[in-house]
Amino acid sequence: MVYETGNRTIDDAVERVLAGERLDRRDGLALMAQPVEELAAGADYVRSQLGDDTVDACSIVNAKAGNCAEDCGFCAQSVHFDTGIETYGFLDPEEILEAAKRAERDGAQRFGIVVAEKGVSKKQRPEEWQEVLRAIRLVRDETDVEVDASLGILTREEAEILADEGINHYNHNIETSPNFFPEIVDTHSFEDRVETLELAKDVGMDLCAGVILGMGESPTDRVDAAIALQDIGVSSLPVNILNPVAGTALGDELGDSADITTPEIIKTIAVYRLLHPEARVRLTGGREVNLDTDEQHLPFEAGADGILTGDYLTTGGQSPGDDIEVMEEAGMEPNMEANEFDKAAVKARTGEDPAEADDVETAAGTATSNAELDD
């Protein structure tokens, strides 16, 4: 053992992970109880030994916004909640291509086409399905980014078609543990989500599936979610932190703050790294509102090595240049394996408001709703 924190529980876990052993639920619960500084150091060491000191960036487009029939308690796009967001049908594929090109220029390695509904249905909405495929083909053929998709629950036929079209990662978050999931969603089950992930994996797509922290779940739920993702087998694990939206069930329950502290966020990232040593542990939505500016580097010093850059589905993010500065503060560099972008040009736009830029838009400002919420 080359590296030691002096904490026997953490040091034993690090040694076992680096020897190729898979940690289990008992390990995860024991690690979650350890001091945050030592836990972060051990997880970061594992990342440094198994990774390449780069942060992989993805960007998304909200390709179809609002009017979703599902009742996910965190989601501003559910028809069950009055949140005042902009709604629209599936975007013109050319608009999606333009968003992908901007994402590529701003350093994204992968680009996700996302819709707000239970599932894009080839059978029920064949014209929309064809537009989805056309958008995938445009991005695949006219950019160098990997094309990902988050299209809800799939049939096997749909999954096979998406794999044939070159979808790299299929995103379908499990959101939380199997035990806590019914507290958040009534209109579909945890098992429904797992079934789609298994279908996507079975036909050859890699999996991007993760969680939302701070919805009222316990530390045990956070571990149980990570164990469920172990069983599924993911290569990208997005970690969202709840940004409560007024009008949603969780927004009304929790107010404007997620139910989680900064040390708990860092602990969870570190435990996820140790339970998923080979995956990209990706910091995604809600980080800007739940972590102070001078704290945003901490997850990348606790095992994180991925990021969702730009805007989210209905809320704004920070600029890709800001994200690069966060990476560098943690001693890491952007991944350029798929996209050798101009890092200096991206950083030069740090802090700009995309809406006020005269001739430059970030990947963030394209095709997301970014609507002002009603008070």
CB 85 within 8 A of CB 76: yes
DSSP 68: B
Extended strands (E) in the chain: 54-64, 110-115, 146-150, 169-171, 206-208, 211-213, 236-241, 280-283, 306-308, 333-334
Q: List Cα–Cα distances, 7 to 35, 41, 118, in angstroms.
A: 9, 11, 45
Amino acid at 200: A
Q: Residues 45, 14: contact at Cβ < 8 Å?
A: yes
CA distance between the termini of the chain: 55
Q: Is 273 flagged in the annotation as binding?
A: no
* Distance, CA of 108 to chain centre: 13
d(CA 131, CA 226): 34
Neighbour count for residue 336 (Cβ, 10 Å): 14
Residue 334's identity, in one-letter code, is P
58 is in an annotated binding site: no
Say if residue 102 carries a ligand binding annotation.
no
Burial class (CB in 10 A: 0-12, 13-18, 19+), 213: buried
Annotated binding site for [4Fe-4S] cluster: 68, 72, 75
Annotated binding site: 68, 72, 75, 208, 282
Annotated binding site for [2Fe-2S] cluster: 208, 282
